[in-house]
Structures are given as structure tokens and as C-alpha cells.
Amino acid sequence: MQDNKQNWNKIANREALIGIGLAIFNFIWWYAFAYGLGSKDPEEYSYIFGLPDWFFYSCVLGFIVMVVLVIIVVKAFFVEIPFEDDEGEEQL
């Protein structure tokens, strides 16, 4: 039982670090496009679907990229952990 809890803690810690990594990646993506392209003079902006390019890349495309990354990461790296204590039921 104790070994299972330690394994589950390791899995939870790994998954939490992956989540933090995704959040950091999302912030870097957003910051790079929002301030990289958005620091130009507004008269020099180019537009995509009626939105300034910096906004489209940082917010719209960034959202789509993050959704796809989260789906891939959850399917590839996350493990289902049972929350029910099966051993406790056997003792009854």
C-alpha cells in the first residue's frame, strides 16, 4: 500500500511539473508574440482575419496550440490513478 502511494506521488509530481512546463511555454509564446510583434507602431501592423497579427498569433493561435499540446500531453504522458482504496474494502 505504501509503495503504491509513493508511486502515485511520483506520478502526480511528474504530471504537475509537466503542467507547470506547459504554463511557462504558454506565457513565453504569448509574451513573445504580444510584445515582439505588438511593439511596432500601430500603423505598421498587419492584420489576420481583421485582428492585428500580434493578437492573432499570441491569443488565437496560442490558444489553439495550447489546446493541441494539452491533449497530446494528457494522452501520451498522464496516467490514470484510482482514487478508491481497494485494499480497505477487502478488510471489511
What is the per-residue pLDDT for 91? 53
User: What's the pLDDT band for 85 if we cut at 50, 70, 90?
Assistant: low
Q: What is the pLDDT of residues 28-44, one digit of tens each?
A: 999 999 888 878 888 88
Q: Is the pTM of the predicted complex or chain greater than 0.85?
A: no
What is the per-residue pLDDT for 81? 78
Mean pLDDT of 1-23: 86
Mean pLDDT of 71-86: 84
Mean pLDDT of 51-66: 94
SS (H, E, C) 13-82: HHHHHHHHHHHHHHHHHHHHHHHHHHCCCHHHCCEECCEEHHHHHHHHHHHHHHHHHHHHHHHHHCCCCC
